[in-house]
Structure 1
């Protein structure tokens, strides 16, 4: 079968990009004709290596910078609006030129499966794709996270899609509630880190990872870990990732006297080794879709301390078995959870062993058949219609 995955920026970094590339490669490995379509291109080469059997194309080349809209195009936005709602988190990417390129591309397709991967692209697919194309929307964030203007558009237009695929059971119930009659399926992202080196739980190192943005809650993790090291001064926290909050977090680390204790590590191409060298993982997010780095950490036998935020952690972790869930945005509770694992190596070892059992459900051989079956079923229905 012919499968096209559309990403906003396939050349960048991020959990959605990585998991979609993994999915595309698995489909190519299974013998399907697969293409990744990047809406914009801002780099010469993709950040993540790509199987040569997966074609990669871009609609708008922005390696020389973005081109501002003309006055007429800005007026078009004011008078006639835009298909991408302004509340969409990536709305800033969608200049008139970019939005028009996506619309034209989607409308030109006549066969196969089109998988879109964020609300802006899902909405354009729902409104503009031909009825001869199977349209599948991936939602990588929970419904409540989207701003009101985006939720209104989702409720209005997603029902035109052939299927909406979400990451957790909680997401599925939420989308089913607002999209009665629309097929909504839960298919989690697969991980590709099973079978790698496991933690010994001996190193006095905790790890967190993600973009340095408000969502990830590192501003709460810093004071929480500062509490922990009062009783355990030989422990260290390493935070991997880059983002707009880097300077603020550095200042916060300095404020709490955590220089040399909490380190912003930046991006790493050896995160798997860093996870294996740690003894626990901390997720301090205000909200999540499905926290893939947390699941990858569990594949290295790391126990997890996580805010019970919407959604994701509670859909993966069993509190007290493979990790600890604490009340959302409760800094003292997060510190207490970390302290509990820091103080007890046997507990870390026991929860880490349970984490290995949990993550087997996210192995590619468990996840990918769900995608193949869905695509085959929808294409079969299209042929019979």
Structure 2
């Protein structure tokens, strides 16, 4: 049985962390899995493998010179690979990917997989713009690069010939179905104004009829939450939104079951897990046309896609508000598509990759 180390910047709340822990936990069926984080924070998610403590923990930030700024942490990870006799290292996202050339010198026997959770344009032109040379070197040195969509696979294939695509699986238990007669629209995501398009979502909210509301599950930094509350007032949406904060497990499932539509307004995404979650409960989807949503909805076959503009989204959303039958049709499409993200076939691809 291969000894696998799942390495991540931190194990707090977030889609990347959720995907990494769900896949890592499922991997315990065929591998000896351990977890490692650069930070020292309690894991928000259940871990079915040992968490190896970091010797010099840090909460890393994107920026120039990661190999200098995190030289101690990079050396610590090299030590862990050797002392724990690791066979396969899976690094999540870019800072840890930049460590790969160094780690190869320390542990050349270890298979090193770089798992890319966001789209390549966001990585190159936003998150890792200031550390692009180190990021590219890490991608080129990796034994495999896992992308989430066809567009990102094509992008990473211009950098390395070892890129493959593996979708993330649905990451929560599915019990029950959405109530398509409800006048509630579900929104799930971090309160990250630009990334999740919170400003777009609240601009849409002001158009809603008085008997409809957007119910929001998610949390954010104090700065973003303050801006979120300001935007609610600016859009005169106080009676159109209900903010529930971060929800987990059964509370999140109930959030989906009580709604009749799921709205997603992100400006960019890798493969948004919340879309698959919502579809698994039979929620019709209205989403912006980020690359992840386009992949999941197959260009609009399985849900409504609109440009990243409140007016465009409203044109897609409004007809659904007035037709329960339209919602039922899209609900059936969501349930059909969600089956493609079942854990079994996706984990079979991971097993093939590491074995």
Query: What TM-score, normalized to structure 1?
Result: 0.83
Q: Aligned with 2:38: secondary structure?
A: strand
Aligned twin of 2:88: 113
CA contact (8 A) 1:112 1:134 kept: yes
Question: Does residue 174 of the first structure (1) align with residue 155 of the second (2)?
Answer: yes
Deviation at 1:197, TM superposition (A): 0.8
After superposition, the Cα gap between the structure-2 partners of 1:103 and 1:120, relative to the gap in structure 1 and judged at 3 Å, is farther
Q: Which moved more, 1:155-164 or 1:132-141?
A: 155-164
Question: Does residue 217 of the first structure (1) align with residue 215 of the second (2)?
Answer: no
**1:261-272 paired onto structure 2 within 5 Å:** 261-269=240-248, 270-272=251-253
Residue deviations 1:229-263 (CA, integer Å, cap 9, x gap): 1xx21000011111131111111111222113212
After superposition, the Cα gap between the structure-2 partners of 1:85 and 1:278, relative to the gap in structure 1 and judged at 3 Å, is closer
**1:125-144 paired onto structure 2 within 5 Å:** 125-129=100-104, 130-144=107-121
Aligned twin of 2:47: 50
Deviation at 1:321, TM superposition (A): 3.8
**1:7-156 paired onto structure 2 within 5 Å:** 7-10=8-11, 12-28=12-28, 30-43=29-42, 46-51=43-48, 54-60=49-55, 86=63, 97-106=72-81, 111-129=86-104, 130-146=107-123, 147=125, 148-156=129-137
Which structure 1 residue ranges, 5 or more long, are not aligned?
Answer: 68-82, 377-385
CA contact (8 A) 1:306 1:325 kept: yes
After superposition, the Cα gap between the structure-2 partners of 1:156 and 1:279, relative to the gap in structure 1 and judged at 3 Å, is same
CA contact (8 A) 1:361 1:367 kept: no
Deviation at 1:347, TM superposition (A): 0.9
Between the aligned partners of 1:194 and 1:84, the Cα distance in structure 2 is: 32
Between the aligned partners of 1:87 and 1:287, the Cα distance in structure 2 is: 22
Aligned twin of 2:323: 344
Deviation at 1:339, TM superposition (A): 1.1
Q: Aligned with 1:59: secondary structure?
A: coil
Q: Which structure is larger by alpha-carbon Rg, 1 or 2?
A: 1
Between the aligned partners of 2:16 and 2:46, the Cα distance in structure 1 is: 15
Q: Aligned with 1:3: secondary structure?
A: strand
Let me know the Cα RMSD of the aligned residues.
2.3
After superposition, the Cα gap between the structure-2 partners of 1:215 and 1:294, relative to the gap in structure 1 and judged at 3 Å, is same
CA contact (8 A) 2:297 2:303 kept: yes
Aligned twin of 1:317: 297
Between the aligned partners of 1:222 and 1:87, the Cα distance in structure 2 is: 34
Between the aligned partners of 1:19 and 1:27, the Cα distance in structure 2 is: 12
CA contact (8 A) 2:215 2:242 kept: yes
Between the aligned partners of 2:231 and 2:333, the Cα distance in structure 1 is: 34
Residue deviations 1:145-187 (CA, integer Å, cap 9, x gap): 02333433333332211100011111100100122xx310100
Which structure 2 residue ranges, 5 or more long, are not aligned?
Answer: none
Between the aligned partners of 2:276 and 2:13, the Cα distance in structure 1 is: 18
Aligned twin of 1:287: 268
**1:241-252 paired onto structure 2 within 5 Å:** 241-244=218-221, 245-252=224-231
Aligned twin of 2:211: 234
Between the aligned partners of 1:272 and 1:290, the Cα distance in structure 2 is: 20
Between the aligned partners of 2:46 and 2:35, the Cα distance in structure 1 is: 13
Between the aligned partners of 1:35 and 1:121, the Cα distance in structure 2 is: 16
After superposition, the Cα gap between the structure-2 partners of 1:102 and 1:361, relative to the gap in structure 1 and judged at 3 Å, is same
Query: What TM-score, normalized to structure 2?
Result: 0.89
Deviation at 1:315, TM superposition (A): 0.4
CA contact (8 A) 1:201 1:278 kept: yes
Q: Aligned with 2:263: secondary structure?
A: strand
After superposition, the Cα gap between the structure-2 partners of 1:25 and 1:111, relative to the gap in structure 1 and judged at 3 Å, is closer
Between the aligned partners of 1:295 and 1:87, the Cα distance in structure 2 is: 34
CA contact (8 A) 2:95 2:135 kept: no
Deviation at 1:103, TM superposition (A): 4.8
Number of residue pairs matched by the alignment: 341
